[in-house]
Copies of this chain bind each other. A is one copy, B any other.
Amino acid sequence: MNRRLDSRNPARAAVLHGAGYVGRDLIGLLLRHDGVHLTHVTSATFAGQPLHVAHPVLRGASELVFSASIPDFSDIDVLFVTAGHGQSAAAVGGARDAGYEGLIVDLSADFRYPDVASYEKWIGAAHTRPDLLPGALYSLPEITGDLPSDARLVANPGCFATALALALWPLSRALPPDAPVHVTALTGASGSGARPSSGTHFPDRDGNVRAYKVLAHQHAAEIAQLFPETFRFSFVPASGPWTRGIWGTAQVDLGGAERGEAERTGGDVGCGDGALAQKVAAWFESAYGSSPLVRLYAGELPAMLPVVGTPFADIGWVVRGGTLVVGFAIDNLLKGAASQAVQNMNLAFGWPAAAGLLPRNPSFE
């Protein structure tokens, strides 16, 4: 599905169900992408009204009006679906049923699981279009690599899944199987979407941290398919008092052989740690050294704010006393959703991964 990146002949893009936060951010990225012309954004609630009724920040930046549907799919080169879980499969199916053969990037969970059983276990609902599952490709570009030229339906990863997978993938390939990795990560309120709920009620969210789905988050299952079966990690997700951003740590005892070796060779812990730290650095460098949208921090953990408003994933690590801590941060709405969807479109079209995403305005944090 390769095409030339050409601002005079841009790919015509549409966003289905674009009235939520991810839709808003995706619209913003597409409006700015040199290779893309955004032609339609649909919303049942806002059909007939300008984008800025749902997205006040867009007032003055686009004259587009929400439509109820796509009048003619033959005008579309790429379709993004930012619907809720379940609703998304219906939208994707509707487009296919209407004869649309082009690229679809779906940002929901509907095509992330390898089979119906996994989907239904974790999402807790029946899958309405299992016929489309076999053709779906789960794409977390830095891990799953280039998309095949016939990719037609791309499943964009979840926000926690993106953050965790990027932090853990090098470990999953390098660690001995008896080394459990313990992850704690916090996310901002925009991850819960635009609909008010008790979890996002300001007086209960401000100044608060709350764990949820402890050791039972569906994103852990989503990414487990990327790792060897013997790789063991546990995940405690929590919500924090901010709007955008995921930040977390993964800790593992390098124990056994690794630690023993460190202690033997080092005579003191620092020296052993140094050797371990070099190994760890090599794991991450080899995994992401050439990825334009991953920023690595050797010997320190990344803070959250520098990724907010950016398409980057930040990953850092510290080794001390035989313990390895990997820290990670992403913007849940961008690398965790909208910018990764653009990245996936770029890959599917054979464009540079960061096209339309860099350089960016660093002020927008």
Contacts and interface: CB of A to CB of B under 8 A. Distances in A.
A252 B27 CA distance: 39
Interface in A209-262: 209-211, 214-216, 232, 234, 236, 238, 240-245, 247-249, 251-253, 255
A247 B209 contact: yes
Contacts of A303: 56, 208-211
A117 interface: no
A362 interface: yes
A249 to B, nearest CB: 5
A325 interface: yes
Interface stretch (A147-155, A196-204, A278-286): A196-204
Contacts of A364: 28, 309, 361, 363-365
A71 interface: no
A207 B243 contact: yes
A359 B240 CA distance: 29
A208 B292 CA distance: 23
Interface of A: 21, 24-29, 31-32, 55-62, 180, 182, 184, 186, 188-190, 194-198, 200-211, 214-216, 232, 234, 236, 238, 240-245, 247-249, 251-253, 255, 292-293, 295, 300-301, 303-310, 312, 318, 320-321, 323, 325, 327, 329, 333-334, 338, 358-365
22 contacts: A25-B362, A28-B360, A31-B359, A31-B361, A56-B305, A60-B295, A61-B310, A61-B362, A189-B203, A196-B196, A196-B198, A201-B202, A206-B206, A207-B244, A208-B304, A210-B303, A214-B301, A214-B325, A236-B251, A238-B247, A238-B249, A364-B364
